[in-house]
C-alpha cells in the first residue's frame, strides 16, 4: 500500500478498525480493514475512510486525495446514509479490461480461452459510481453485465515482475464491465462496445488490504442470481495480469484493471437493477435507463 504512508496512516487504520482513540463514538468494526470512499454531501467531491458496523457505517473525511497525498483525517464525520457515494477513483489515464479470463465464461460465448491475457481499454469517461445510471445505447439491443474484481494501481510502474505486483497495488474495488454484446461482435474492435459513457460502474469503495486469490463474485439482476464464482477460477491471476499489462504500457496511480468476469453474463434492459458483490469489498448497484 504505497500511498498509505506517512504519519497519519496508523491513525486512519486504527480509526477504521474501531480502535482509534482520537475519534470517539464510532462503532468497533473488529478486523475490518481500510476502506476508502469518494463521496459528496452536495458540494465538491471529497474522500473518506469508511468504518463502523454494517448498516451503521460512518465516513471520516480525509485531506485531499489519498492516492496522491496519503491519509490525514480532517476530524469531520458523516453517516454513510447521509452522503452520496461517487466512483472511488477516476482513472488518471485508463481502465484496462481483461477478457475471457474465466474458462466457463469464454466457453459460454463460444470463444477459445486465450493463452495470454486478452486485454482492451475502457476510457475513463465510461466510469460512473454506485447508483449512477447505466445508459442503454440506442445503437445496441444486447447490453450485458459483467461482474468483476477491479484493481486500483497505486504507483507509476512499468515491467512489474510477478513477485513485485503487490507493491504497485493500492487496493481493490468492484467493477461492472458493461458490454454491448452485439456491437462487440459487429465492430471487431471493442472500443465502442466497452466504452460507452456509464459502461464502467466502480465502487462502492476501495479496500486497501485484501488477498484477491479467492474472492466470491456475485451478480444479481432485479434480485435474481446470475453470476456466482470465485476469483480462484481466473486463468491469469491478478499478478499475471498486471505483469502482462505493464509489459507494454505504463500504469499510473489511479488506473484500474478489470480482471475478467465469471460465467453467467446476460442481457439487461432499461429499468433493471444490477448488483455486483465481491466478498471482502462490498456491493455495487446501478440501474439501467433508456437514453432520452
Contact 99, 120 (CB under 8 A): yes
Q: Which residues contact Mg ion by CB under 5 A? A: 146, 177, 261
Q: Of 254 and 262, which CB lies nearer to Mg ion in the complex structure?
A: 262
DSSP label at residue 164:
G
Least spacing, CB of residue 168 vs Mg ion, in Å: 21
Least spacing, CB of residue 99 vs Mg ion, in Å: 6
- The torsion defined by the Cα of 270, 206, 64 and 16, in degrees rounded to 10, comes to 130
Least spacing, CB of residue 44 vs Mg ion, in Å: 32
Q: Of 65 and 146, which CB lies nearer to Mg ion in the complex structure?
A: 146
The C-alpha angle with vertex 127 and arms to 92 and 83, in degrees rounded to 5, equals 100
Least spacing, CB of residue 177 vs Mg ion, in Å: 3
Among 131, 134, 174, CA closest to 152: 174
Backbone angles phi, psi at 27, to 5 degrees: -65, 140
DSSP label at residue 248:
T
Q: Of 61 and 261, which CB lies nearer to Mg ion in the complex structure?
A: 261
Q: Of 177 and 255, which CB lies nearer to Mg ion in the complex structure?
A: 177
Q: Of 11 and 177, which CB lies nearer to Mg ion in the complex structure?
A: 177
**Residue 135 CA from chain centroid, whole number:** 19
The residue to which cell 476502506 is assigned: 35
Least spacing, CB of residue 233 vs Mg ion, in Å: 14
Distance CA 60, CA 214 (A): 29
Least spacing, CB of residue 261 vs Mg ion, in Å: 4
Q: Of 263 and 289, which CB lies nearer to Mg ion in the complex structure?
A: 263
Q: Which residue is nearest to Mg ion (CB)?
A: 177
Q: Quote the cell numbers at residue 1.
A: 500500500
Contact 159, 167 (CB under 8 A): no
Distance CA 292, CA 290 (A): 6
Amino acid at each position: 500500500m504505497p500511498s498509505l504512508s506517512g504519519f497519519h496512516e496508523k491513525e486512519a487504520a486504527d480509526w477504521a478498525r474501531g480502535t482509534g482513540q482520537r475519534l470517539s463514538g464510532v462503532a468497533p468494526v473488529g478486523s475490518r480493514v481500510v476502506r476508502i470512499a469518494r463521496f459528496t454531501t452536495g458540494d465538491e467531491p471529497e474522500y473518506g475512510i469508511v468504518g463502523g458496523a454494517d448498516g451503521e457505517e460512518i465516513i471520516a473525511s480525509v485531506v485531499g486525495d489519498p492516492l496522491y497525498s496519503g491519509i490525514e483525517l480532517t476530524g469531520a464525520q458523516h453517516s454513510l446514509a447521509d452522503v452520496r457515494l461517487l466512483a472511488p477513483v477516476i482513472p488518471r489515464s485508463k481502465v484496462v479490461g481483461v477478457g475471457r479470463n474465466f474458462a466457463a465464461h469464454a466457453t459460454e460465448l463460444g470463444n477459445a480461452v486465450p493463452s495470454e491475457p486478452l486485454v482492451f481499454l475502457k476510457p475513463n469517461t465510461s466510469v460512473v459510481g454506485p447508483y449512477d445510471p447505466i445508459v442503454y445505447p440506442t445503437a445496441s439491443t444486447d447490453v450485458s453485465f459483467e461482474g468483476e474484481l477491479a484493481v486500483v494501481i497505486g504507483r507509476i510502474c512499468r515491467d512489474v515482475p510477478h513477485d513485485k505486483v503487490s507493491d504497485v497495488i493500492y487496493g481493490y474495488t468492484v467493477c461492472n464491465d458493461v458490454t454491448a454484446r452485439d456491437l462487440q461482435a459487429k465492430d471487431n474492435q471493442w472500443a465502442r462496445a466497452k466504452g460507452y459513457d456509464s459502461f464502467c460502474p466502480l465502487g462502492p469503495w476501495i479496500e486497501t488490504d485484501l488477498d484477491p486469490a479467492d474472492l466470491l463474485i456475485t451478480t444479481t439482476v432485479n434480485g435474481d442470481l446470475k453470476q456466482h464464482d470465485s476469483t480462484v477460477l481466473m486463468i491469469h491471476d491478478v499478478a499475471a495480469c498486471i505483469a502482462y499489462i505493464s509489459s507494454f504500457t505504463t500504469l499510473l496511480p489511479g488506473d484500474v484493471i478489470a480482471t475478467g468476469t465469471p460465467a453467467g453474463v446476460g442481457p439487461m434492459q432499461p429499468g433493471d437493477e444490477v448488483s455486483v458483490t465481491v466478498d471482502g469489498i462490498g456491493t455495487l448497484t446501478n440501474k439501467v435507463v433508456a437514453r432520452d
